Structure 1
Amino acid sequence: MEKKNGHTMTNSVSTDEILENNLKKKSCKDIFVVFLNRNMLVIMTVSGVLVGVGLGMLVRNMDLTRAQMTYFAFPGEMLLRMLKMIILPLVVCSLISGAASLDTRSLGKLGGIAVSYFLVTTLIASGIGVTLAFIIKPGVGAGALNTNNLVLESVTNNKETTDSFLDLARNLFPANLVAAAFRSYATDYKMVAVGNDTNGTTLYQKVPVGTEPDGMNILGLVLFAMVFGVALRKLGSEGEELIRFFNAFNEATMVLVSWIMWYVPFGIMFLVGSKIVEMEDVVLLVTSLGKYIFASILGHVIHGGIVLPLIYFGFTRQNPFSFLSGLITPFTTAFATCSSSATLPSMMKCVEENNGVDKRISRFILPIGATVNMDGAAIFQCVAAVFIAQLNNVDLNAGQIFTILVTATASSVGAAGIPAGGIITIAIILEAIGLPTNDLSLMLAVDWIVDRTTTVVNVEGDALGAGILHHINQQEVKKQHPAEDQELAEVRVEAVANAVGEEETSPLVTRQTPGSARDKPSVETPEAAESVL
């Protein structure tokens, strides 16, 4: 067995050990070349960000027209389009495969632990956001902001809080699965005449009507894929052909992801550079909203650098920063794209390859986390809500503070994993505590700054959650098998998963060949061997 970034991997032959023994006999130059080969993508991705900053500062002085800015941002736009293209097959196939590879009891326990982890960490994040906002007081003294000089876009939101949560439930059950791939459900309103008053004036009522704005309904697709995977599992042998189809589809998608990853450094360079070119008066923004930006980013640093690693250490007793060191590429992608969904392909690949997390766990939990786990968003939404209250000289009482915490935790589930996806969610919080939403444009003005650390914390929470679940599964394996037979048992798990036949190579499908040696009574049953969560 070998350990990779704090996680036990069950390879019968350790390639890393062989390499390390060979390296002792090699020169420093050879060691450097091996290191470079292993970490080339990480180095290129980080370099892409740094070069993008320099390129953006250089091009910024050239006073490009709007059309020229669009052309300059084109390589970065292509990266986003490729990443978004892969999200639908990746999420659907990985969730169906993951749900089908776990028995119902394992699925229930796995889902319960995941939901508890997501809710608790998001609630902690909301608490950090509110606390920092009251300590730093970003809105105190900012009432004299000259919003005209900031050249802000207007943000309108007239949606009722009740309708926002009803829309969340409606999106969980899409009426049309094909339409859910590119449309979601949102409530709008129209005024309907209901009669006249005593003076003859026409009376109107605001009536909610359903609309379908563009944008993937990822929440509905996630729920359907999970339930469909469980249904395939229940079919038994009849469902195995379809399970193998989705496994093959999933593996092919991961191959596409590995190809796209080599374009990431180039695309990130232009994504970052184009953002710097498009920036308005940054000095004015920072001086006006500096305390709000500082409070939000400090909350992300505390939650991502202290709270989440402590939770991981508490469960696993392993170094969280060793685990996170294998995820530099997805973190850099998150920083550049500001999209949890767009980061999902690289996160899934790195968690499995660099940290040795079981594919069945990572491909089940990471798509759910990218959809519902928004720790970073909860922090900046709570800071924003308190900031706007202070801006309007409103003293929040204990009931309103509690409402902010609960609403931010609940509404972050429905926040889109896209750039600026959390701005409308802030409107739900403001409506819930009775504050005006006309100051949301201030949030939008600096969202491109805050959203970068927000997305990094979002994806960090997902990754550490997968690591915790993997560790819990490993502990359950150890409890089931005798200590002296532990290594053999773990090898057998891999054998059952992978070596069923020539045509079946995915570790997510597990069944035993009739009449084989594995059918002997002394060996574990398929269900016990495949997952012991």
Structure 2
Amino acid sequence: MSTVPQDPENETENQRLITEEASIRVCRRRWTRHLGAVGRWTRSNLLLVATFLSVVVGIILGLSIHQADPGRAWIAVLSLPGELFLRMLKMLILPLIIFSLMAGLGSLDTKVAGSLGWRTVAYYLTTTVVAAVLGLVLVMIIRPGERWRVEKPCDNSSLSVGGNNLETLDSVLDLLRNLFPDNLIVAMFKQTQTVYTEETVTSWSKCLSLNNETFTNCSAAVETVESLDLDCSNATRTERRVELGTREGTNVLGIIVFTVAFSMFLSRQGERGRPVVEAIATLNEVIMSIVRLVMWFSPVGIASIIMGELLKVEDFVGLVQQIGLYMVTVLLGLFIHGCITLPLLFLVLTRSNPIKLVRHTAQALLTAFGTSSSSAALPVTIQCLEEKAGVDSRVTRFMLPVGATINMDGTALYEAVAVVFIAQVEGINMNFATLLIICITAIAASIGAATVPSAGLVTMVIVLVAVDLPPENIALLLPVDWLLDRFRTTVNVAGDCFGAGIVNHYSKKKLASAAPNHPPPSPPTPRADTKLSGYTGASGPAFSQVRGTAVGQEDDCTARGNNFTEPTDSLHTSFPEQARDTHL
């Protein structure tokens, strides 16, 4: 049979079509694989993606609705979801601090806890000093106050920053007093604070002398003044009285001190303290479960908060043009410290990739930016570091509550820049001694700053008073503080995250070698009628219900390996030999 010769051109065309089809199939497989990877990443980081989009949506909606000039009622309604989200987070702060510290330190050896303590303090103090010095260097180089002369507001009568301008000494004394509260119940909702009151005092003798009257004693002087109806306005003076009072807000420092002391002595109780530690660990897990639930409201809440803040600004563009260079100085300092100094310190000390840590804690950083509160972001920060970054829970539960209270790198930098900026606007030259005072006072004030929005603005009064600058000049910074506060809070939380990573790196050996005095709670004991995989009775093959995991999922069990608990001795005696070798 003769074969029909094929046309070489047709054969070439067929080969080309086959090659193209193969290439298309390869491209499709690649795109399918890439899209599948993107889809899997999006599903596993759905909350992070939603939170990032909420920031963008909040800014866009805020600027768009601002053009319509909404009234106070509309702003209140649009801000309500964000307010409710903040209230839910703040509700969890106190129990989270108490239970996380107790659960973390209660299972630690005292020596290990001491090692964590000094490393934590050393890191926090070092980074805060670096941040304050960086702020001073930038503001002295850029000099935003000399290049941008800002007019002071004509009326400062309505200005209220903290309501009580404390002197530096009284602020430090209040910090020490709050470390040791006299009543733990009161410390949950109030803090000790020095209160200044003004009292008008009249010198009766001076009043009589000014009116050319004589008197024999004080009682006679008062009677003479009242009987003659003399004018004593020139004999009166105003005296300031210093008293100890209280202000609203949780005394976080005092509660932390008590909780740390309680936990360390609890760890010394041995077996007697084990039930307490297990109960506290269970309560901590309950709180973290509530945190995970609340965080699904964060996209709506953060978008609402940002939108509400933008709607409250009257003229955003004009505001940026007025004191834009000051904002650039602060933001540049925060960028250098948060994106260069802290990651570089983490890289040098741990030899690990800081970008990986940032990626794992992105949800916490976005929450800090949206809520403008280190305490509000505390539950998310703990969750990210433990579940994504793999930081030991004993480190996070000790460091993060303390860091959210005293580690305020961004606040120290901001206060140093702001005070020198005000001095430059006033035309006051700063010598080295004055700059040193500003640096030290800014560090001390940032440590004592509350973990609530715009707390740095309140503590800045302390720094201004320390260098004899009028506190009224804070009015220059009020219009942009709401925006800068979000960036410095983000840097504060970033400092906590990098610090936890560094301390965890240097504490791994001690944490691994020091067996906890109180092991974690054991899994629930199976019921008597529970059957193990591999044992076939009258009812046929059974599946284990221990920890709610079906043993029929062999691949999952094999992958987890040693994470499963072997049967207890009582179960060994109750089941055949083949059941004893089965991995749960």
Residue number among 42, 57, 74 corresponding to 1:68 in the alignment: 74
Q: How far apart are the structure 1 equivalents of 2:502 and 2:152? A: 47
Report the more deviating stretch, 71-80 or 212-221: 212-221
Is residue 471 of structure 2 the alignment partner of residue 464 of structure 1?
A: no
Larger radius of gyration: 2
Once residues 306 and 189 of structure 1 are traced to their aligned partners in structure 2, the CA distance between those partners, rounded to angstroms, is 42
> Does the Cα contact within 8 Å between 2:164 and 2:196 map onto a contact in 1?
no
Q: Does 1:127 align with 2:133?
A: yes
- The range that moved more, 441-450 or 412-421, is 441-450
Give the match's secondary structure for 2:198. Answer: strand
Moved more, 135-144 or 494-503: 494-503
Deviation at 1:454, TM superposition (A): 0.2
Give the Cα separation in 1 of the matches to 2:198 and 2:132: 36
| Bigger Cα displacement from structure 2, 137-146 vs 372-381 | 137-146
Counterparts of 2:333 and 2:386, CA distance in 1: 29
Separation of aligned partners in 2, 1:455 and 1:213? 23
Letter in 1 for 2:401: P
Task: State the alpha-carbon separation in 1 of the partners of residues 444 and 60 from structure 2.
Answer: 40
Q: Deviations over 1:159-184 (max 9, x none)?
A: 22111111111111122211211111
* 1:331 Cα deviation after fit: 0.8
The corresponding residue for 2:313 is 279
Aligned match of 1:97 in 99, 103, 111? 103
Please point out which of 65, 82, 85 is paired with 1:79.
85
Matching residue within 163, 175, 178 for 1:168: 175
Deviations 1:81-102 (A, max 9, x none): 1110110100111111222121
What is aligned with 1:444? Answer: 478
Whole-angstrom CA distance in 1 between matches of 2:97 and 2:179 = 15
- Give 1:330's aligned residue: 364
Q: Tell me which residue corresponds to 1:179.
A: 186
Query: How big is the shift at 1:147?
Result: 2.6
| Contact 1:157/1:437 (8 A) holds in 2 | no
State the distance in 1 between where 2:61 and 2:169 align.
46
Structure 1 residue 283 displacement after superposition? 2.1
Residue equivalent to 1:265: 299
Offset of 1:149 from its aligned partner? Answer: 10
Task: Provide the TM-score with structure 1 as the length reference.
Answer: 0.83
The alignment partner of 1:213 has SS state of strand
Contact 1:197 1:203 survives alignment (8 Å): no
CA deviation after TM superposition for structure 1 residue 202, in Å: 3.7
TM-score norm. by structure 2 comes to 0.76
Whether the 8 Å CA contact 2:92–2:287 is kept in 1: the answer is: yes
Question: Which residue in the other structure is 1:14 paired with?
Answer: none
Deviation sequence 1:161-214 (CA, Å, 0-9, x none): 111111111111122211211111211112356773973324553221122221
2:268 alignment partner, SS class:
helix
Contact 1:157 1:424 in 2 (8 A): no
How many equivalent residue pairs?
Answer: 473
The correspondence for 2:240, drawn from 193, 201, 206, is 206
Q: Which digits, 9 at most, give the CA deviation of each residue in 1:318-347, with x for residues without a partner? A: 111111111111111111111000000111
Question: Is 26-35 or 364-373 further displaced after alignment?
Answer: 26-35
5 Å matches for 1:17-416? 27-148=33-154, 153-155=159-161, 157-192=164-199, 196=203, 199-200=206-207, 201-416=235-450
Separation (CA, whole Å) in 2 of partners of 1:137 and 1:267? 37
Mapped contact 2:414–2:488 kept (Cα < 8 A): yes
| Native 8 Å contact 1:157 1:427 kept in 2 | no
Q: For residue 305 of structure 1, what is the amino acid of its counterpart?
A: C
Give the whole-Å Cα distance in 2 for the aligned partners of 1:30 and 1:78. Answer: 36
The CA distance in 1 between the partners of 2:289 and 2:460, in whole Å, is 38
Q: CA deviation at 1:151?
A: 11
Q: In the alignment, is the contact (CA less than 8 A) between 2:274 and 2:518 conserved in 1?
A: no
| Structure 2 unaligned residues grouped into runs of 5+ | 1-28, 208-234, 526-546, 548-567, 570-584
Q: Secondary structure at the match of 1:73?
A: helix
Q: Is the 8 A contact 1:152 1:445 kept in 2?
A: no
Task: Extract unaligned runs of 5+ from structure 1.
Answer: 1-22, 482-492, 506-514, 517-533
Q: Distance in 1 between matches of 2:317 and 2:39?
A: 43
Structure 1: which 4+ aligned runs deviate by more than 6 Å? 149-152, 493-496
- Residue 153 of structure 1, CA deviation: 4.0
* Deviation larger for 150-159 or 373-382: 150-159
CA RMSD in angstroms, aligned pairs only: 2.7
Q: For the structure 1 residues 280 and 297, does the alpha-carbon distance in structure 2 shift closer, same or farther, using more than 3 Å as the test?
A: same
One-letter amino acid matched to 1:104: T
Task: Summarize deviations over 1:62-89 as a string: whole Å, max 9, x none.
Answer: 2221122101111111110111011010
User: Counterparts of 1:188 and 1:181 in 2: how far apart (Å)?
Assistant: 20
Q: CA contact under 8 A between 2:331 and 2:487: conserved in structure 1? A: yes
Offset of residue 137 of structure 1: 0.6
Offset at residue 366 of structure 1 (A):
0.6
* Inter-partner Cα distance in structure 2 for 1:293 and 1:189: 33
